[in-house]
């Protein structure tokens, strides 16, 4: 028997490529956490309203919002990486008192509006599952979420929650392959802006549901969890590169899931001339895939989505309030705890006075879009300042893109105001 020598051809650079890919995979996380924050009950309601009322024509708003979101979230993370401060801390340190107070006060208001949608969505889910009154469900969700946040025990179930919400998102993506979608109309809808009559509140709710002010504050905070050496320029450049990849992949996933919700609502409701006025109706979208179990699975997904998004909304409120005192988010710190409480408790209180839960979800997202210009212009001001960012300040092309985004948001807000006059 002869000996055989087996030679393996090593492709130059393959080992290094695999090593870099593994490092990037390990880095993924902050962007995905933000993504969970904008695949929430408010998004569900806004997307379902858009698809059931207007068919495919408002898909362009998801595309535009996602492009804006990628640039803005990257810019917010950029601030956190370079300065070691979250957006709230930077606003506190570098802006004058009266604009600082306006930005931070309205940002807390946006976090409250976000928390309202998340608590309400989870309460609707409990009503669907156990027929509990919305007000009773609201109190239960409030207590559970605050306990999870104050004990940090949410970290133990975070992966389960993200996994389940992702599974439902994949269900929507799979369903568009097995139901009849007018792909010509959908393709046009993704790229051609349209403003059907009475559509401005829905357009703005979609914008607010995707580009959420509190997520800009949150991303600039959680991106610092890596605890890298800010004195090492190579480390900073590597983090900036990995962060953009994390943000890009995460936001594209969000775009696909949000788009699939509108597509399914258009195919399920709009094509049959059914206008959704109750989130529980939306479980019909899952019936082609799940049959009679659709309502249960939809309600469980809505519950987990609400819980996970409640946590991120509370974290954002804690981040904003702690930043007002030049402090990072720290659940053992009194200012972080106060920030969480003044976000969650008023949100639950307001729900007691909402007569239409579905409309409450829609208008809560619209409020986010109204506050958004203040956060966006503050972020652009800070990240364009050499005093704040040093040599990592925004380049001229970045400034132009970011200001263009800010002007689009301002224009849509003006259009919303005009629609009510």
Could you report the per-residue pLDDT of 286-296, keeping only the tens digit for each? 777 667 777 88
Whether 135 is covered by a domain: the verdict is: yes
Q: Which of 10-19, 221-230, 236-245, 344-353 has the lowest mean pLDDT?
A: 10-19
Q: Measured between alpha carbons, how far is 122 from 41 in angstroms, rounded to an integer?
A: 8
pLDDT bin (cut points 50, 70, 90) of residue 125 is: very high
Q: Which of 73-82, 154-163, 184-193, 261-270 has the lowest mean pLDDT?
A: 154-163
CA angle, residues 343, 72, 174, in degrees to nearest 5: 85
Which residue in this structure is represented by tokens 């009475």?
Answer: 198
Whether 71 is covered by a domain: the verdict is: yes
Q: Average the pLDDT over 409-415 and give the result.
A: 86
- Tell me the pLDDT tens digit for each residue of 99-117: 999 999 999 999 999 999 9
Long-range contacts of 405-412 (CB under 8 A, 24+ apart): 405/68, 405/71, 405/72, 405/376, 406/373, 406/376, 406/377, 406/380, 408/64, 408/68, 409/68, 409/207, 409/211, 409/369, 409/372, 409/373, 409/376, 410/373, 412/200, 412/203, 412/204, 412/207, 412/369
Q: Which of 69-78, 159-168, 379-388 has the lowest mean pLDDT?
A: 159-168
Whether 6 is covered by a domain: the verdict is: no
Q: Which of 310, 335, 332 is nearest to 323 (CA)?
A: 335
Whether 270 is covered by a domain: the verdict is: yes
For residue 390, the domain's CATH number is: 1.20.1740.10
CA angle, residues 134, 138, 141, in degrees to nearest 5: 135
pLDDT bin (cut points 50, 70, 90) of residue 164 is: low
Q: Measured between alpha carbons, how far is 55 from 142 in angstroms, rounded to an integer?
A: 35
Does residue 242 surpass a pLDDT of 80?
no
Q: What is the model's pLDDT at position 390?
A: 92
Q: Which of 34-48, 81-95, 203-217 has the lowest mean pLDDT?
A: 34-48
- Write out the DSSP string of 242-256: HHHHHHHHHHHHHHH
In the DSSP assignment, the letter for residue 211 is S
Long-range contacts of 349-353 (CB under 8 A, 24+ apart): 350/112, 350/116, 351/116, 351/119, 351/120, 351/123, 351/134, 351/135, 351/138, 352/135, 352/138
Whether 19 is covered by a domain: the verdict is: no
User: Higher confidence at residue 415 or residue 11?
Assistant: 415
Q: Which residues of 131-153 are buried (b: 16+ CB within 10 A; e: fewer)?
A: ebebeebbbbbbeebbebbbeee
The parent domain of residue 359 ranges over 32-420
Whether 26 is covered by a domain: the verdict is: no
Q: pTM for this one?
A: 0.85
User: Higher confidence at residue 27 or residue 150?
Assistant: 150
Kindly give, in sequence order, each residue whose CB lies less than 8 Å from that of residue 249, ignoring residues fewer than 6 positions away.
28, 31
User: Higher confidence at residue 277 or residue 260?
Assistant: 260
Whether 372 is covered by a domain: the verdict is: yes
Helix, strand, coil percentages, rounded to 5, for the chain: 80, 0, 20
Number of compact structural domains in the chain: 1
- Tell me the pLDDT tens digit for each residue of 189-231: 999 999 999 899 999 988 887 888 988 998 888 777 655 545 6
Whether 20 is covered by a domain: the verdict is: no
Angstrom CA distances, 63 to 42, 204, 394, 417, stand at 17, 14, 24, 23
User: Higher confidence at residue 137 or residue 412?
Assistant: 137
Q: Which helix (H) or strand (E) holds 137?
A: helix 134-151
């Amino acid at each position: 028997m002869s000996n055989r020598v087996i030679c393996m051809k090593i492709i130059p650079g393959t080992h290094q490529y695999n090593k870099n890919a593994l490092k990037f995979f390990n880095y993924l996380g902050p962007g995905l956490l933000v993504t969970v924050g904008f695949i929430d009950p408010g998004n569900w309601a806004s997307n379902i309203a858009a698809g059931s009322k207007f068919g495919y024509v408002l898909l362009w708003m998801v595309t535009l919002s996602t492009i804006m979101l990628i640039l803005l979230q990257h810019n917010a993370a950029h601030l956190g990486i370079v300065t070691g401060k979250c957006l709230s801390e930077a606003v506190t340190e570098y802006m004058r008192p009266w604009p600082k107070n306006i930005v931070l006060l309205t940002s807390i208001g946006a976090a409250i509006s976000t928390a309202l949608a998340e608590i309400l969505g989870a309460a609707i889910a409990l009503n669907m599952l156990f027929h509990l009154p919305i007000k009773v469900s609201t109190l239960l969700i409030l207590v559970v979420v605050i306990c999870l946040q104050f004990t940090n025990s949410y970290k133990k179930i975070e992966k389960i929650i993200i996994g389940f919400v992702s599974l439902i998102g994949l269900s929507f993506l799979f369903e568009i392959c097995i139901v009849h979608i007018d792909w010509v109309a959908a393709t046009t809808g993704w790229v051609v802006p349209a403003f059907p009559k009475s559509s401005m509140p829905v357009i703005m709710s979609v914008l607010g549901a995707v580009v959420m002010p509190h997520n800009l504050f949150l991303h600039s905070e959680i991106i610092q969890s890596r605890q890298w050496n800010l004195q090492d320029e190579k480390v900073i450049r590597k983090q900036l590169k990995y962060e953009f990849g994390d943000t890009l992949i995460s936001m594209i996933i969000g775009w696909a899931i949000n788009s699939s919700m509108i597509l399914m609502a258009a195919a399920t409701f709009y094509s049959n001339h059914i206008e959704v006025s109750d989130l529980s109706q939306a479980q019909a979208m899952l019936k082609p895939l799940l049959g009679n179990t659709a309502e249960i699975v939809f309600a469980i997904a809505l519950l987990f989505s609400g819980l996970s998004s409640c946590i991120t909304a509370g974290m954002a409120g804690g981040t904003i309030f702690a930043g007002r005192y030049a402090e990072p988010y720290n659940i053992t710190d009194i200012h972080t705890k106060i920030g969480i409480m003044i976000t969650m408790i008023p949100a639950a209180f307001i729900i007691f006075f909402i007569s239409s839960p579905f409309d409450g979800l829609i208008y809560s997202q619209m409020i986010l879009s109204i506050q958004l210009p203040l956060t966006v212009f503050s972020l652009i001001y800070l990240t364009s300042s050499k005093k704040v960012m040093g040599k990592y300040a925004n380049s001229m092309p970045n400034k132009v893109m970011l200001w263009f985004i800010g002007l689009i948001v301002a224009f849509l807000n003006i259009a919303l105001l005009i629609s009510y006059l």
